[in-house]
Structure 1
């Protein structure tokens, strides 16, 4: 298995065709075809399905593609670190950020990071952890800041806890059930929730079953962005379960209402999540340090808005 073969494999997947891969890599179509065939022969497995409309991958090919992306991304990180040691700071950093961190600490973190590493090409992906997971898996994302769900591969990823945060069942301000005091009163309502593809059963158990209630699963809408979740809560009168801090920050302050339910939900952990056995680049370590510095500054602040935030947050490090 050779590096140029892995490059041809990844480029073909990204472009969807041999021709597109050749354009991306600046090689001839014959060179790309030869590299892919040599790779299949070396592994003695069919990796691609070739058709007039393009290429697709066998199950063997999909597995190898994931590892190929990881190898190429790790090599890119190594190159960036070596260039930094030579005195040239360059490279790319992709970070996944859970939405409530975007609304609170992200802007200050980015400004601080840009002062320290202005040559790094920074890419931010806002998304709940179910959105970040495939990018972490294939190595295109360096790390994510969010709450890792236990249903996801424990052996595949490593989490470094930063703080804990409270969560609440919420409705829009002025909702007919704003005075509800038990989740039992909300079972005839529709719900909008976020969960990983394999996490629905665990979330239903956490919110409902363990509290002695059953919900018709057809009442649950899965949303993969806070914008969708907010729209469903505000315009479709759905209930949701989210970090309590969301109702403390613009643009959601005064629009989302946490319900004072008898049922209690344990604090969740905000973590830095990365792929196990991978090495964070110097740029990634710097970004994490900037984030921690910003969070600690707000945690020690006596400003009214910061005090309101840290009624629902607790630093762990």
Structure 2
């Protein structure tokens, strides 16, 4: 584990830039022995030498270059946010204070934040108050919903979380140098990706990197987008949003998908040929949740014909739940054609001929702007792209 002592990390960057512990000590306001001690602790944690000591000065080793690149990215994010509040915070803010701030921004309750960090509630409260004193302003305000971060508090919390994420990325890359697999990859999986793309990509990845930790998270898009932006999620895979939801994320299209209308085998409409929208409107449906691109297309289909939505809707994004619902009833289902393909191929569901020319939906990867993946993350992304290419090829 790389020590989260921000002053030591700044010292390391100063030595990397100035190539001299003496000059770095002057810049950072420390003694040379303190700088030497800080470097020794970092090198021990990093698993090897970070600098070659030569008569011409200190030069980064390959291991040191990996760490310096990540720490520079981390400090760049953090210092920009700190400077907006107070120039002195770059000197006084500690990892413990920023960690408490980030936990509070998420939990919006001191007791819950303390529990998440494994600390006493007064410790978290004091850390936040000390940070606010350094900033010269409140970073949280009490409301009926809890203790919520101010705009400045949200900005600093997000910068801190992204900085911590970069340090975790550094640990994974240093482990890669030593032939180890460290850290974890977190994928936010939207409904289509869970049944079509991810299983094949993850099976390949596990065969090639058997010890790399992977976490797949599902949930509402907005929650996963928030996790992506604060560094808790590395990438989101599934339907892309139009327009782009916010400027600090990037969307990479992989292929286009369309919707299908489904029913159980033996349903009254299964062998009825082309079915009119008027007739479809008389049935109960299982459809995607409101706020999703699929649901927007479903609603727009009826609106364009001047028809009201069917009055009996079950909202679900899981093809497995939809399959079971349709198999036990006369409900119709509307879901991604690719997502339904395996169930149709197995004879568990049938596609209805509706004559609807559904517009294509872009399916792809969403990640943070400026995201620099580790070798393991890059390998998974390459395989996701390859699976998508095979799917549509």
Please state which band the TM-score falls in when normalised by the shorter chain.
0.7 to 0.9
1:259 lines up with 2:337 in the alignment? no
**Is the aligned partner of 1:47 residue 2:170?**
no
TM alignment of 1:41-120, pairs within 5 A: 41=133, 42=135, 44-49=137-142, 56-58=147-149, 60=151, 61=153, 65-120=157-212
User: 1:208 aligned to 2:302?
Assistant: yes
Matched residues in 2 for 1:270 and 1:282: separation?
24
Q: Tell me the distance in 2 between the aligned counterparts of 1:98 and 1:235.
A: 25
Query: Which of 219, 224, 227 is matched with 1:135 structurally?
Result: 227
| Gap change, CA 1:152 and 1:131, over 3 Å in 2 | farther
After TM superposition, the structure 1 stretch with the greater mean CA deviation from structure 2, 79-88 or 179-188, is 79-88
| Counterpart among 323, 330, 333 of residue 240 in structure 1 | 333
Name structure 1 gaps, 5 residues minimum.
300-312
TM-score, normalised with respect to structure 1:
0.75
Cα distance between partner residues in 1 of 2:292 and 2:196:
29
Q: Structure 1 residues 43 and 223, CA, compared in 2 at 3 Å: closer, same or farther? A: farther
- Output the CA distance in 2 between the equivalents of 1:255 and 1:165: 21
Pair 1:181 & 2:272 matched: no
Structure ranking higher in helix proportion? 2
Q: Is the 8 A contact 2:171 2:182 kept in 1?
A: no
Q: What runs of 5+ residues in structure 2 fail to find an aligned partner?
A: 1-81, 83-92
Equivalent residue for 1:309?
none
How far did residue 227 of structure 1 move? 3.7
Query: In structure 1, the residue corresponding to 2:392 is in which secondary structure?
Result: strand
Shift in Å at residue 142 of structure 1?
0.7
Distance 1:122 1:261, change over 3 A: same
Quote the Cα distance in structure 2 between the aligned partners of 1:154 and 1:19: 32
Cα 1:50–1:78 shift into 2, 3 Å: farther
Matching of residue 278 in structure 1 with residue 371 in structure 2: yes
SS in structure 2 opposite 1:162?
A: strand
Q: Distance in 1 between the 2:292 and 2:259 partners?
A: 21
Q: Name the CA shift for 1:100/1:21 in 2 (closer, same or farther; >3 Å).
A: closer
- Cα offsets for 1:250-307 (capped at 9, x unmatched): 59832222111222113333211212333333322111122334455xx3xxxxxxxx
**Structure 1: how far apart are the matches of 2:355 and 2:156?**
50
- For 1:314, the equivalent position in structure 2 comes to 392
Q: Give 1:193's aligned residue.
A: 287
Q: Residue 100 of structure 2 aligns with which residue?
A: 8
The CA distance in 2 between the partners of 1:110 and 1:205, in whole Å, is 34
SS in structure 2 of the partner of residue 44 of structure 1: coil
Rg larger for? 2
Tell me which residue corresponds to 2:62: none
In structure 2, which of residues 315, 327, 336 is the aligned counterpart of residue 222 of structure 1? Answer: 315
Q: Residue 208 of structure 1 aligns to a residue in which SS?
A: helix
Separation of aligned partners in 2, 1:199 and 1:268: 8
| Deviation per residue, 1:30-68 (Å, 9 max, x gap) | 4322211123331613415499xx964245455654454
Q: Which of 139, 142, 167 is residue 259 of structure 2 equivalent to?
A: 167
Q: Distance in 1 between matches of 2:276 and 2:309?
A: 17
Give the Cα separation in 2 of the matches to 1:85 and 1:37: 40
> Over the residues paired in the alignment, what is the CA RMSD in angstroms?
3.6
Residues 152 and 196 in structure 1, CA contact (< 8 A), matched pair in contact too: no
Counterpart in the other structure of 1:149: 241
Distance apart, 1:187 and its partner CA: 1.4
1:272 to 1:191, Cα distance in 2 relative to 1, 3 A: same
1:7 Cα shift? 0.7
Distance 1:133 1:226, change over 3 A: farther
Conservation of the 8 A alpha-carbon contact between 2:108 and 2:148: no
